[in-house]
Amino acid sequence: MENVKDTICAGQEVLRLDDVSYVYKGKYRQVRAVDHAKASFVTGKVYAICGKSGSGKTTLLSLLAGLDVPTEGDVLFEGKSTRCMNLDRYRRDDLSVIYQSYNLFPLLNVVENASYPLELRGVQTSVARSRAIEKLLAVGLKEEQFKSYPNMLSGGEQQRVAIARALTADPRIILADEPTGNLDVENGNIVTDILLELAHKLNYCVVIVTHDNAMANKADNILYMSDGRLSKIESALKVD
């Protein structure tokens, strides 16, 4: 991939969890989905967040993505709390999220899907689609696929379109929620390698929630969640 992130130096802290808790309040009980989480995320690194279903991983990712704010503590982006920010602008300009189910628009072709974030910003269509094509080629899509619709592509190809779409907005941070969950081993490895390259060569900060041990073990840092609590696994130990 061509390095378009030269102005961002590796090792810059972009996200911090500062004693973050999140409580779901039901009619009869409260659930502490995230419990006093602390962590720092820097550019040029891949972070894997692992743990059993219901451990709080998805809630934590939602807080990092600015889909909600903590009940206690702060999520800090470049030192500023998300509770003091325009969260729509934060999600639009500073980060992109990649989902297990791809979340592509079924009635838009490959290029239209990938260019959507820029067009949503008001970027001229021709400029947005030119940038989208650049990103699609960078993740291994072929020109003959550009006019295809999502249901004409394999799962691995759809996920690559989703990654290209995430990149068109030129974010600082890539958040990925089980990005290999619907893929076979071969395509899972391809997607993993793309995400590693985004961090290690282009200096993105990449945070991945995953049950895929093979993906997690390639990360620079592994964080484990259990009952809402976050702890770091030493890289030398990795996950079973």
Report the C-alpha gap between 60 and 70 in whole angstroms: 9
* Tokens encoding 120: 């949503």
Instruction: Report domain extents, the chain.
Output: 13-233
Residue-wise over 166-191: b if at least 16 C-beta within 10 A, else e?
bbbbbbbbbbbbbbbbbbeeebbbbb
Q: What is the largest CA-CA distance in the chain?
A: 55
pTM of model > 0.85: yes
pLDDT of 234 higher than 80: no
73 and 17 Cβ atoms separated by less than 8 Å: yes
> Within a 10 A sphere around the Cβ of 33, how many other Cβ atoms?
22
Q: Are 6 and 202 in contact (CB under 8 A)?
A: no
Looking at residue 160, its pLDDT comes to 95
- Rounded to an integer, the average pLDDT of 11-33 is 92
pLDDT at 3 (0 to 100): 47
pLDDT recorded at residue 152: 97
Q: What is the pLDDT of residues 168-210, one digit of tens each?
A: 988 999 999 999 999 999 999 999 999 999 999 999 999 999 9
pLDDT, tens only, 100-134: 999 999 999 999 999 999 998 889 999 999 999 99
Please state which CATH number belongs to domain 13-233. Answer: 3.40.50.300
